[in-house]
Amino acid sequence: MSDDQATAPRAEIFEVGPRDGLQNEPRPIPTAEKLALIDLLSGAGFSRIEVASFVSPKWVPQMADGAEVLAGIQRAPGVSYAALVPNMQGLERALAARADEIAVFASAAEGFSRANINCSVDESLARLAPVARAAQEADLPVRGYVSCVTDCPYDGETDPGDVARVVARLMRMGCYEISLGDTLGQGTPERVAQMLKLVLEEAPADRLAGHFHATSGLALENIDAALDAGLRVFDAACGGLGGCPFAPGAAGNVATEDANAHLRRRGYETGLDEGVLARAAQMAQAMRAPAAR
């Protein structure tokens, strides 16, 4: 590491490609391909990689092999392998599969919550409370996701106050970090800053992460807005994988390699190997190509 790297401020990229990136791919991706991608990413320098989801395979069939993925990866020292869980059954499966941490999710928008999990925002948070409590009793860290923090595909623009209220509830549940998701990728830097101003009244910047999609080409500008607000953790997916099965029109996550290059241009050190990121991006893009005929 150079002297400049040693003294540069740190920013972290939380790699979500193997889960959030792949979940909406129409081609059934073999477990072996997922393992190869995760094992490659494990050598890039990430501290955290989201690799599995224990939601119903009826709704997200791409993630049906979560237990096999967690059993088959080559776990690298110092890397936490995360799994998304929606309920107690999902938590039990994540524990059995030896996930290092879990993520729980709620929407800041009523329309998205009802379309995604068929209940209101308040009902979803009430369901998550015992899941978070049980995970913590099992010494499993819990990360929270808030979706639709700027726009909802059903309700339009999201009230920043609604985002702040969901963040406050997740903080009370004991989430060690809360990721704020611009699910549609329609947020602008100005609206992201407005949302963060209220959210920061409920949670400090070092307990928050930004999760921006590239739909409108503003993901990097939204990262800048979050940096200006004090956030230093950003979700990203190798090769720009992503999309949401319950958010029509949502394109991919911001690409890890793009976010990494942008953060470095801004003077932040991420500790990631650019060569490995480039190979992971190529592998990820090949995985989303149509199956050979």
* Residues identified as active-site: 244
User: Which amino acid, 69?
Assistant: V
H helices of 88-159, where?
88-96, 110-117, 121-137
Exposed / middle / buried, residue 139 (Cβ in 10 Å: 0-12, 13-18, 19+): exposed
Burial 213-223 (b: 16+ CB within 10 A, else e): bbbbebbbbbb
Exposed / middle / buried, residue 134 (Cβ in 10 Å: 0-12, 13-18, 19+): middle
The SS3 of residue 196 is helix
Tokens 């869980």, located at residue: 85
Q: With contact defined as beta carbons under 8 Å apart, do 243 and 250 qualify?
A: yes
Q: With contact defined as beta carbons under 8 Å apart, do 223 and 234 qualify?
A: yes
Pair of tokens at residue 274? 């650019």
Nearest Cα neighbor of 229 from 253, 255, 207, 260 is 207
H helices of 14-120, where?
31-41, 66-72, 88-96, 110-117
| Largest CA-CA distance found in the chain, in angstroms, rounded | 54
